[in-house]
Chain A
Amino acid sequence: MKTDSRFLTWVSHIAMLLFAVACIAPFVLLISASLTDQDAIVAHGYSFIPQNFSTAAYEYLFNKGSDIIRAYGVSVFVTVFGTVVGLAITTLLAYPLSRSVTPHRNLIMFLIFFTMLFNGGLVPTYLVYTQLFELKNTIWALIIPGMLTNGFYIMMMRTFFQTTVPPALIESAQLDGASEYRTLWSVVIPISTPIMAAIGMFTAIFYWNDWQNGMVYITNPDLFSIQNMLNRIMQDIQFITANMSSTSGESMQQMPTDSVRMAMAVIGALPILIAYPFFQKHFIKGIVVGAVKG
């Protein structure tokens, strides 16, 4: 029995170790490629250990950095602004829905729930945001369409309020003369930090990683987020290689070399990879909170 259990423990360790290596390996390849001399890449292909170590790609990016810094700025602004506003909207909608005194609560719940079952799809959404609101080529296009809040977050937060905030606490605050806003801000939110952290984190990751809104609504490169910039570079390369014969040597030279391209991807992934050790505990908790049905 003892050996049987120990055997399984060993199997588990080996399997998890392999899985962990498989999760990390592509990043190692990417980072290694970004630190390899271009000639070495041409000679040997991408490899896990830089064949000919060089920081030329990063130097190139720093010298020619204004586009990247702007794209970074767009990404940071969109992420911070979107997360703060999105979290506020979600909380302000979820809190009344958690209170049994709110008029028409069930009707509103149903209307929110219905958005989780049925949607108009991409094309009608695009038309609403471009024809009615003229969001095309504005920074708001990266923040508003489809991203601020959704039925799932609202349901999750509402359930959390309902199950963890004792109604007596709210009542006593209001007997003491606290308004609804005051109650929400000073009583409900302070004891709901786990759900706030979870939804705030998911929203922030969602914003940082989003490229779809940029692709649909933005054609002005000044408004590209870092993801859109990466996406555009990849598309250009695809386009050039697909039309290789008709491409002049000049435009081949203009496009970033392999190592520069990989260095850009590293820079795009870096903030999340650096921040991850600090928020991974909350992230894993958040997955569990999110899985518990709203």
Chain B
Amino acid sequence: MEPAATTPAVQAVLKEKKKINYRKHAPLLIMMIPGLLYLFFNNYLPMLGIAIAFKDINFAKGIFRSDWVGFDNFEYLFKTSDAFIITRNTILYNLVFIILGTVLALACAILLNEIKNKPLLKSYQAIITMPHLISMVIVSYLVFALLGAENGFINRTVLPWLGIEDGIMWYSEAKYWPVILTLVHFWKSIGYSSIVFFAALLGIDEEYYEAARLDGATRWKQITSITLPILTPIIILMSLLSIGRIFYSDFGLFYQVPMASGALFETTETIDTYVFKGLMGSGDIGMSTAAGVYQSIVGFILVILANYTVRRLSKDNALF
């Protein structure tokens, strides 16, 4: 992380200036004030707010005067089936997104790499990254245009083609949503994540391929024995980092696209949507705060574990 600070010359300078000259460097310190203040209020103060998970929030009494209830909120949360459902959904969706997403993004990058026609390559890249730019609210409109019960394209055009005349009430049938949400997620993200792999592919020395061609390796063979092994470290790294965030979900995807439909709770509710609904009044605020704290703490442990694993594999790729 600190390539510049490790040269002997720099270390010598640092040693010489053991006594910090605040006055000389005051401008540098002053510059940082707005950013540090922001991070203090936006990030550090809410960390203290975790304490409210141990309170019986009563807005009439005010946050500070609400009664302390110890672990009651957590107890309620884990007694209901909610805790299990939201944890299961969050983790299962993320696992599918990580595993299948990596495979698809890699495949997409490898295919892009086969295209030597520059203008076409640029156009493909531009188009497949475009969905990433669109807000989830608009994505929910797009999905609605496809899945709407009365006028949706699927119910009115696709299903009749297939000989199914009765439309499906997509927004009240929970069983379809794991597939729908996975498709929407990939539609929005595969182009974007393939660019990262594609950039790594561009970095591979052309000479490896030359040599393989001279040895008579087929294109497929070149991919499996040159491209993939070279990409392995970045694949592992990116997967581990995603595993570190497995307790967090793309809130917009799970809230906007199913349109917060209660009938879909079983397959669309994740920890993030649960916390949000609790705050917005359609759930229990104490339990939702507890769920938020549960997410923060387990998430933190997972990041540390993931980083520890990356560090064991390759020190350079670790975050810290």
Contact = CB atoms under 8 A, between A and B. Distances in A.
B216 interface: yes
A4 B49 contact: no
A260 to B, nearest CB: 12
A101 B10 CA distance: 10
A90 B35 contact: yes
Interface string B185-203: 0010011100110010000
Given A96-B28, A154-B35, A121 B134 contact: no
A46 B156 contact: yes
Contact of B137 (A92, A179, A230, A287): A230
B159 to A, nearest CB: 10
Contacts of A276: 126, 130, 133
A123 interface: yes
B230 interface: no
A16 B111 contact: yes
B127 A287 contact: no
Interface residues of A, number: 107
Interface string A69-95: 000000000000000000011101101
A240 to B, nearest CB: 13
Contacts of A26: 142-143, 145-146, 187
Interface string B134-174: 11111011111110101111011100000000000000000
Given A23-B131, A128-B45, A99 B28 contact: yes
A208 B135 contact: yes
Nearest to B148: A46
B259 A234 contact: yes
A125 B111 contact: no
A64 interface: no
Interface stretch (B77-85, B92-100, B292-300): B292-300
A220 interface: no
B319 interface: yes
A288 B195 contact: yes
Given A108-B32, A231-B137, A284-B125, A212 B196 contact: no
Contact of B191 (A15, A23, A205, A265): A23
> Which of B127, B148, B150, B192 has most A Cβ within 10 Å?
B127
A20 B138 contact: no
Contacts of A29: 142, 145-146, 153
A122 B218 contact: no
Contacts of A252: none
Interface string A121-143: 11111111001110000000000
Contacts of A117: 300, 303-304
A123 B296 contact: no
Contacts of B146: 26, 29, 46
The number of chain B residues touching the other chain, given as a range, is 35 or more
A266 to B, nearest CB: 9
B226 interface: no
Contact of A19 (B43, B108, B213): B108
B16 to A, nearest CB: 11
B130 to A, nearest CB: 6
Interface string B89-111: 00000000000000000001001
B45, B288, B293: residue with the most chain A Cβ atoms closer than 10 Å: B45
Interface string B13-57: 110010011100101110110111011011111111110100000
Interface string B42-75: 1111111110100000000001000000000000
A45 B136 CA distance: 23
A166 to B, nearest CB: 10
9 contacts: A26-B146, A27-B142, A117-B300, A123-B49, A127-B63, A209-B134, A212-B251, A272-B133, A293-B319
Given A23-B131, A33-B145, A128-B49, 19 more contacts: A9-B116, A24-B127, A42-B151, A93-B34, A96-B31, A118-B300, A121-B292, A124-B292, A167-B4, A209-B136, A211-B136, A212-B252, A238-B259, A265-B138, A272-B133, A277-B126, A280-B129, A288-B196, A288-B199
